[in-house]
Amino acid sequence: MEEEEEASLHVVVFPWLAMGHLVPFLHLSKCLASRGHRISFISTPRNLARLPKVPSKLLPLLHLVSLTLPHVDGLPDKAESSMDIRPQQAQLLKIAFDLLKPLLATLLQTLSPKPDWIVYDYASHWLPPIAAELGISHAFFSLFTAATMAFFGPPSSSSSLSSTMVNTRTTPEDFTVVPAWVPFKSDVVYRLHEVKTFVEVSSGKTKNSGVSDIERFAVSVGESDVVLFRSCAEFEPEWFDLIHELYQKKPVVSVGFLPPSVTGQEEKDDDGDERWIEIKGWLDEKRANSVVYVALGSEATLSRDELGRLALGLEQSELPFFWALRKPPESDQEAVEMLPEGFLERVTAENRGRVYVEWAPQVKILGHAAVGGFLTHCGWNSVIEGLSFGRVLILFPVMNDQGLNARLLEGKKLGLEIRREGEDGWFSSELVAETVRKAVVSEAGESLRVKSARVGAPLFGDKEVNRSHVDRFVRFLVEWRERG
């Protein structure tokens, strides 16, 4: 355990019900616990069971606290995470999440010692008043880049929800242009095919939970004591400057990227895992920097046609690939059954491609010397892991903030996007092959590979640099408490 702070804190952590949120909240919790602070990590039973194992040395300080998710008609049985549901059921999950409000309020009153801080997510817009009434300082933890949050605009300063970010954009087209409050040249905008579902949920056209996603963001940020970012000004200086302007006097604190080297994901406690041994054996046979690792996360879903074109594009690239392919939540078919006829047989017979339908140890795969590129959905967790190892990114955004991340990363020459066109986001298998080859092996992509290795890896993956961000963040929490 690292050196303890002079005055330890009790920090409550309360993430949204998605693995892409639960895991980085756990990473932050581990960083705090390793510095001698007590953590109460609150979520639902199935989500807590899904989390990576907490290192034994942290168990005395990092406590997992369970709250039963109330039942809501229309949600599948045992659904406690966004990975358990279809995208159309997302608002129902938020209804169930909002019903945790009285349960959490009661729990906060009973925790001992009294919490000093609660770190919360965008969905719990109702939490700041509870924390304020109980005298608990409250920090909004943004798992989104400063560019993404600035694109959404200034937050709400009250529960009235009157905010620029709520009221000025009501059509899909409004999200495909640079906002008026961005004073510099920017390509960080949505494409039309990316934003249609987002607008239906976030603008109020689909408000089954009674509160749109943009409203949740606005109030969660606006009523926080401080906003934390899993990013840093060294990576996106112009966007952090804009965030400070938009958030006015509200403190903005970077916690760094929380890469594998800082959060303990590099621990080799599962080297005996037969799955990893088998995967490693396959990777060991490949040339250095030749394999394309493909993973689109646990929630992003493609149609059968899109999946087929992506598969054929990988095959046409003639590069070896390892594809971690998950079954879509709404599908009755297994993922491999949605692939083109003969595809699996061809790539397997040539020992050139692997389609892996079980849980894949992503960090270990990305850290293997054979991997040269990462075809990713541009979720921020995956981006951080890929760049931590200096892997060039092949950008294939599917949902949520991923399109904005793709524009930001391509603009910084850390990846190359598979461009999708029109209102339906069409793309060809030939374009997939061309983009993959350019990013990973062609002379035209050499500058991308060099920058990913020489700039991306030191910034995103350096252990000491990222630890220094966490150290400054912890000092901020302690000093805030001491000021009363």
> What is the Cα–Cα distance from 5 to 3, expressed in whole angstroms?
7
205-210: long-range contacts at Cβ-Cβ below 8 A with a sequence spacing of 24 or more? 206/91, 207/91, 208/91, 208/92, 208/94, 208/95, 209/91, 209/92, 209/94, 209/95, 209/98, 210/95, 210/98
Q: What is the dihedral of CA 223, 225, 229, 234, to 10 degrees?
A: 120
What's the confidence (pLDDT) of residue 211?
85
| C-alpha distances out from residue 451 to 101, 114, 314, 391, Å | 46, 47, 24, 10
**Structure tokens belonging to residue 112:** 């001992």
Provide the pairing of β-strand 38-43 with 10-14.
Answer: parallel
At residue 393, the 3 state secondary structure works out as: strand
pLDDT of residue 452: 95
CATH fold for the domain made of 269-461: Rossmann fold (3.40.50)
pLDDT at residue number 159: 35
CATH class of 10-262+462-483: alpha beta
Cβ atoms 45, 16 nearer than 8 A:
no
Can you point out the beta strands (E) in 224-332?
226-229, 252-254, 291-295, 321-324
Rounded to the nearest 10 degrees, what angle do helices 213-222 and 192-202 cross at?
Answer: 70
pLDDT tens-digit profile, the chain (484 residues): 554 445 699 999 999 999 999 999 999 999 999 999 999 999 999 999 999 999 999 999 999 999 999 999 999 989 999 988 887 888 899 999 999 999 999 999 999 999 999 999 999 999 999 999 999 999 999 999 999 999 988 886 533 333 444 457 778 888 999 999 999 999 999 999 998 766 654 544 444 667 888 889 989 999 999 999 999 999 999 999 999 999 988 999 999 999 987 666 545 545 557 889 999 999 999 999 999 999 998 777 888 899 999 999 999 999 999 999 987 666 667 778 889 999 999 999 888 999 998 889 999 999 999 999 999 999 999 999 999 999 999 999 998 899 999 999 999 999 999 999 888 899 999 999 999 999 999 999 999 999 999 988 999 998 899 999 999 999 999 999 888 6
Cα distance between residue 130 and residue 265, in whole Å:
34
pLDDT value of residue 163: 47
Handedness of CA 387, 390, 392, 394 (dihedral sign): negative
Domain residues of the chain, as ranges? Answer: 10-262+462-483, 269-461
Q: Can you give the pLDDT at residue 164? A: 47
Nearest one of 463, 477, 27 to 230, comparing CA atoms: 27
Residue 411: what pLDDT? 96
Q: Which residue has the tokens 């689909």?
A: 206
User: Given this model, what pLDDT does residue 202 score?
Assistant: 52
Do residues 229 and 221 lie in contact, with contact meaning Cβ atoms separated by under 8 Å?
Answer: no
What predicted TM-score, i.e. pTM, was given to this entire model? 0.92
Asked if the domains at 10-262+462-483 and 269-461 fall in one CATH topology, the answer is yes
